Homo-oligomer: A and B are copies of this chain.
Amino acid sequence: MANTFGDKWSFTSFGESHGAAIGGVLDGVPAGIAIDFDMIREELKRRREGVSELGSEGVSARAMREPDEVEWLSGVMDGKTLGTPIAFILRNKDARPEDYEYLKHTYRVGHADKVYEQKYGIRDWRGGGRASARETAARVVAGCIAKQQLAAQGVHIQAELIQVGAEKDPARFAETIARYQQKGDSIGGIIECRINGLPVGTGEPIFDKLQAHLAFAMMSINACKGFEYGTGFGGVTEPGSAINGLSGGIAGGIADGSEIVFRCVFKPTPSTPKAGVKGRHDACVAVRAVPVVEAMTALSLVQFLL
């Protein structure tokens, strides 16, 4: 079940970027939860455009054209969950396969086009098909419902961009991104995520360690190249006597009640004018990955809290 995330509160994702629709089915969501539809709209906007001060340049042409509207098919009545599967779709209004006709016989470097064709023998060449970043919109919708459920249990998730290229001062992220934008190039970024309020004891001690599930969730996001928590890779130069006790919020795979901090790194997009791809481009995809990181964190945590 390669398109399902989670086994208790499961999210099944479907849809090609230029087919009829993308969407998802959530199974295991308890009955009686009031859904905050406005928050879902906000988060979709955040994924689409990035935060405003950075996003002005960091938005792809397609994202601008196509506002995401969620159509709810089942599992919700009078704004509340029924305990039955929640199915939702986002229509691909802007599906213009002809724009991508040229991809029918081309594999874009740094994209999954070629391996898809090798794996399946067939490929939806229309805008990346299933591998398109558009798929993350469904993750954001699902993640919002998970977040709402977690918030009701006192669990809060907050992700933010902490590095763009070599730049660590948020005040300078916009100009750094603009610089790469203008050069027709792109740059990576690091996102840090903090989890508060997770009950002590969350996680399992052997394989299903909390950090293993968080890593799995993050590494399932396109362009994510690494995950670390607590002292992470930087901690390698510190002796035990200096860092002993800095748990990063997890001991032996189990939440210890302190704040959990993890980071993940996103590579620059390969689709740039410099690489021969025309049109506006996303100079720093990490900007728009922030709500996706939060969504996947929520989807991961909610499995443990049922």
Interface residues of A (CB under 8 A from B): 1-5, 7-8, 10, 12-16, 19-23, 25, 27-28, 31-32, 71-75, 77, 80, 82-87, 89, 109-112, 114-116, 118-124, 129-131, 135, 163, 165-166, 180, 183, 185-190, 200-201, 204-209, 211-220, 222, 224-233, 235-241, 243-245, 247-248, 251-256, 265, 267-270, 272, 274-275
Q: Which residues of B contact A189 (CB under 8 A)?
A: 236
Query: Do the beta carbons of A115 and B251 come within 8 Å of each other?
Result: yes
CB distance from A164 to the nearest CB of B (A): 8
Q: Which residues of B contact A109 (CB under 8 A)?
A: 244-245
Q: A267 CA to B244 CA in the complex, in Å?
A: 9
Q: Which residues of B contact A214 (CB under 8 A)?
A: 219
Q: Which residues of B contact A240 (CB under 8 A)?
A: 110, 180, 185-187, 267-270, 272, 274-275
Query: Do the beta carbons of A73 and B188 come within 8 Å of each other?
Result: no
Interface CB pairs A-B, < 8 A, 7: A7-B7, A77-B122, A118-B201, A230-B267, A239-B268, A240-B267, A240-B274
Query: Do the beta carbons of A239 and B185 come within 8 Å of each other?
Result: yes
CB distance from A263 to the nearest CB of B (A): 8
Query: Do the beta carbons of A111 and B77 come within 8 Å of each other?
Result: no
Q: A232 CA to B224 CA in the complex, in Å?
A: 8
Q: Which residues of B contact A8 (CB under 8 A)?
A: 1
